[in-house]
Amino acid sequence: MNKSSAFGMLEVLQLPPKPRKNCMILMSEVGIPLRANRRYSSRSPRPLSTTRRSPTMLGLSDRLSAAWIKKKVALYNEANIEVVPGGIPFQLAVIQHKVDDYLKAVRDLGFAGVEMSEDTMQPLATGYREELIAQALGMGLKVMTEMGRKNVDIPFDADEVCKQILRDIELGVSKIYLESSEIQAMTRTDPKALDTIAALGRNEYLLFELGLIEPQEKAAWLVERYGFEINFASVSPADVVAVDAIRRRGMHRKSHYSFMAGKGA
């Protein structure tokens, strides 16, 4: 019960306070104007400020100035929201042999960490990948990695993915994305691979990407199968409130208002 809210007498599922490892929503931010950003990152007691912790900003390659990004990051930081850049700039840096410069820029711009994804390029050699993780951690950056491919062009081997997840955790990786394209395919065909990953018991390290295709339906399916504590990533600003309601045990149309039927209590 949140007694500071307008309807504090009504009871709904409350999330753990920040900083938290579970129940996270990582919003994908694609250039909200700075003035509007002050509203999004407000400290006011509403779902947007209590469910997002680490927005991912895309389109950093050539159209956003360093000054603009620093202001953007500072606005989120004022609301106790960490910011990391998306994974595509990292992949460009790898392909162009500019990883050292890229990691320095990420640190100097004020980002809390770096996403080291390999979902569109050729996978990194194991030794080199682990060197880059260690390098970023040594610079004071949190590291986020990713499992799966955007184009689903390499077979998703759940057992190998589980081994990599455990190895990444051992190396000090903070969070591990599960690519939304892979989740989309598995929820429609055979979810056994997702079940295997969830059975590891390390869901506090995992970020289930919702992406652009049926994100609310995907969120409802994941919460029903794996519980309300799972973490979501790649959530658009327009979907944050809905995904928050879905997580809170069915307080949304996409989850059939299961709380009201006594299924989520």
pLDDT along the chain (265 residues), means of 10: 72 79 87 77 44 46 82 87 90 96 96 94 97 98 95 91 97 96 89 94 94 92 92 91 84 62 54
| Rounded-to-integer distance, Cα 56 and Cα 82, Å | 9
Angle at 208 between CA 229 and CA 187, to 5 degrees: 105
What is the per-residue pLDDT for 44? 42
Domains of the chain: 25-255 (3.20.20.70)
The DSSP symbol for 98 reads -
What is the per-residue pLDDT for 13? 77
Token pair for 99: 């990883």
Tally Cβ neighbours within 10 Å of residue 258.
18
What is the per-residue pLDDT for 113? 95
- The DSSP code sequence of 15-82 is PPPSS-SSS-EEEEES---HHHHHHHT--SSSHHHHHB---EE--TTTSS-HHHHHHHHHHHHHTT--
Token pair for 33: 């104007």
Token pair for 3: 């007694």
Q: Exposed, middle or buried, 215 (CB in 10 Å: 0-12/13-18/19+)?
A: buried
What is the per-residue pLDDT for 18? 77
What is the per-residue pLDDT for 262? 62
